[in-house]
Structure 1
Amino acid sequence: MEGKGDILIVDDTLDNLRLLSAMLAAQGYEVRSVTNGAIALIGMQTQPPDLVLLDINMPGMNGYEVCQRLKSNAQLQEIPVIFISALNEAVDKVKAFSVGGVDFINKPFQLEEVLVRIEHQLKLCRLQLQLQAQNHQLQQTQADLQRSLDHERALNQRIEAMVALEERNRIARDIHDSLGHSLVALNIQMEAALTLWEVDANRARSTLVEAKQLGSEALQAVRHSVSAIRSDPLQGRLLEGAIVNLAEEFNHLTDVMPDCQIDLSQPLSTSINHVVYRIIQEGLTNICKHAEATIVQIQIQTTDMGLSLTLQDNGKGFQLDQTTMGYGLRGMQERSAALGGQLEIFSKPGAGCQITAHFPRENHPPNNGT
């Protein structure tokens, strides 16, 4: 029979030792027996038992003192002690519990009572050990989770930093390209005005007016690009509220109120929120400038997989293969790719334009070969 527990019996009466040892061994317990408290303490130091049956009245060191010394030892203090005694006074039982005993059995004892009390205490010990193991596992799991959260937070910060850097680089390139183009055109107009100054003042003046307009447009483009460098385009607002503000601004400029269907019940990272805001912002800007649309729809849906975005209008549309990607459309694609997203544009003359974007919940920066 498999051992049910290691029990140490401490009693100076040999008949009691033999009787208890035989009864418990027959029930499958491993049993050790000693006749005095000093030997018992030495044996427990060498091999701690699962439970101690301890007689109170023994010569030399009585059971109370043995229990006190046991409970003062950090390595042994969790061992349950059941006192066995012929004493039946209430004061004896109170003292037994006050020194650390967990139960009390009166002599003469009954086998069934002894077994029930022993098994009850051993079961409590097993449950306590299980609870300690579960608490340790819970603490370990919590520590692992905290490390994972710290790692994810640090990774998100690195991703957002990389996205911000890429955004600034993209804006710098766009400023260089668009401003350079505008300055070249402006220079040509100024040269033409100087050439015409002496021969045709009216044409020279008209040319200067066009040059001034080019300068104003270039300045506005630079201001727009620089304002896009802000680290938080939402300015602390929730994404849904920021999009509603964009829709209201669009309505103020065009008298067309976009139909917004927004479900952000499963929020994503801050970097994705920023990109979604930029795509809608630039898309509405393009519609306002070029589309002459009367219907505009914005749909955002979040799921366990990520986020889906659709921006659609019924405006003039354009031929994709004949359109040079400007600030808005190129910016949309670059921002989406930076977060592992996919952006598609569908349009043709007279059929409006539809922009769709999909972002995975777990996003990673693109591999630049470094």
Structure 2
Amino acid sequence: MSEYQSQILIVDDNPTNIDLLRRFLDDDKYKIAAVTRGEVALKLVEKSPPDLILLDVMMPGMDGYEVCRQLKENMQFEHIPVIFVTAKTAAEDIKFGFQLGAADYIGKPAQREEVLSRVDNQLKLFHQQMMERELRQKSLKMAELGEMVAGIVHEVNNPLGNLKTAISFSQHNVDEIQQQWQAQTLTQNEFAQFIDQQKEALESCQVSIDLASSLIQSFKQVAVGQCSNQKSKISLYHFLEQVILSMRAKLKKYPHVIENKVPWEIELDSYDGALSQVVINLINNSLLHGFEGIDQGCIEISAETFDDHIKLIYRDDGVGISESLLVKIFADFYTTKQNQGGSGLGMGIIKSLVEVDLQGQLEFTSQQGRGVQATITLPLTLK
């Protein structure tokens, strides 16, 4: 038996057709589930998403066209390939099915070799697309972490330089006071001045150590979260402070302001790595696109809870996005900054992270000249 069995869902109101397809498919190669109603199929997909769906068109109640339409409208499941297995093979029927998002067609009565060939082809494409998606996300993570590493190194150098200066100054003072003490020329005022200088030097050292520690801790928290797939308890206000601090080096290059208005008591149980990617990408998009030509912009992040969900609201007061561009921003690789640091991955990955990884919803609105708003609705406790 192979190490991984591709999961196939058969949806057909006729049990005889289901039995036929089951016999065609190799039980050692595929893990097969079957239902006879479209409504039940959608519920099963939500519970356990398959790798492929073999879908009849003519069914009582919800037909195959409607099942396919609802699947393709849901970003969590739109990537699942759907093969219509149907007697409706007229040109207009096939065209309509493809317009709904079908990946392929198998005409009834189904033939074994055709079923195996088309199923195998779609599963290969599906797994290849999933690998490409994972690689894109990993590439983006590594790019973000690389940028953070460079920024943190630069930022930590400043407090370490201050620390070195303070220690050198303190050592010089100690040498001088020791010489005066040995020469018995040390006055009470000079000793009192020495004590004050040492206190100032120690305070400077402490400030530098605290800053360096905070910078390293912020990077550690964000980096570990992005490199793991573990859920964790998140204090949202402090989490955002850590993310913003981890971007300190980049943010210092701009005059823009980030206001964290999230209530300190809000907590959620979720994937902090995915959430940090969302926030970082939103901020990067504002810096790169939203504040172009603006002297000083403002980013505001707020949140509120309702029932068992949280609504995280991200706003900037930048140039906004025209209606014609707004409909394209979630497309893979779409960017208006192809040669200026825009990968075209940001907004598409934000949507994917929110709706797939974080099991939430993303609403993105904008008007040209009036900034953007991203409203992210997330469960307080991820299932």
TM-score range, shorter chain: 0.3 to 0.5
What is the TM-score with the length of structure 2 in the denominator? 0.41
> Quick one: higher RCO (CA 8 Å, sep 6+), 1 or 2?
2
What is the TM-score with the length of structure 1 in the denominator? 0.42
Q: Which has the larger radius of gyration?
A: 1
